[in-house]
Copies of this chain bind each other. A is one copy, B any other.
Amino acid sequence: MEFSSKLLENAVNEMSQLPGIGKRTALRLVLNLLRQPKEQTLNLAKALSTMRSDIKFCKSCHNISDNDLCEICINPHRTDSLICVVEDIRDVMAIENTSSFRGLYHVLGGKISPMDGVGPNELNIQSLVDKVEQGKIKEIIFALGSTMEGDTTNFYIYKQIQDFDVVTSTISRGISVGNELEYTDEVTLGRSIINRIPFEISLKS
């Protein structure tokens, strides 16, 4: 791609570093910014640089926060002995939207994935083990995605904490609510039979 302007080329190149944004899409986005009022671009640039420079991570759960401790961790109405282990802030937001969890979170910041060069040391695992060692936690719920990386991460953490007095569980996997059996993949369907739940319990959820 040949550009008639270095400034444009530079902006397109930086924009196309974002995941899933190729050169063509980046050019479309940048040209759109040029058609909009100047303030929009300046606001975007300022919001991004301020965020990247000033954002904090909660010292307890590692969730993104504007303060040292996040709103969830300082909420006195939440059970601090129940911890839900998630990959990133999107999972926190998704679970918060269900209003079905009143414990605290622990944000790992990723999943163990040797293919992508992510080992246990790149993740916030040690601080979780420390919390368990201090005896503050009664139950840990693993809520990572149902992938090989998620399962590996669950297992790694489980091995680290299995000798302590803490209950561990994982979110249930099964057919999605509203789905027909015939459209469910075999592995999920097989697991949903193995992990079947008493009917009386299913009535309550």
Contacts and interface: CB of A to CB of B under 8 A. Distances in A.
Interface string A5-47: 1111011011101111100010111111111101011111111
A156 B134 CA distance: 77
Interface SS, A side: helix
A57 to B, nearest CB: 9
A165 interface: no
Contact of A2 (B53, B55, B93): B93
Copies of the polypeptide in the assembly: 2
Interface string A134-152: 0000000000000000000
A4 B63 contact: yes
Contacts of A2: 93, 96-97
Given A19-B29, A41-B48, A45-B49, A34 B4 contact: no
Given A14-B48, A46-B45, A49-B42, A64 B33 contact: no
B5 A64 contact: yes
Contacts of A72: 4
Nearest to A36: B17
Interface of A: 1-8, 10-11, 13-15, 17-21, 25, 27-36, 38, 40-56, 58, 63-66, 70-72, 88-90, 92-93, 96-97, 109-110
17 contacts: A2-B93, A4-B58, A4-B89, A7-B50, A14-B43, A14-B47, A14-B48, A18-B33, A18-B44, A19-B28, A19-B32, A31-B89, A41-B48, A41-B51, A41-B52, A44-B48, A45-B52
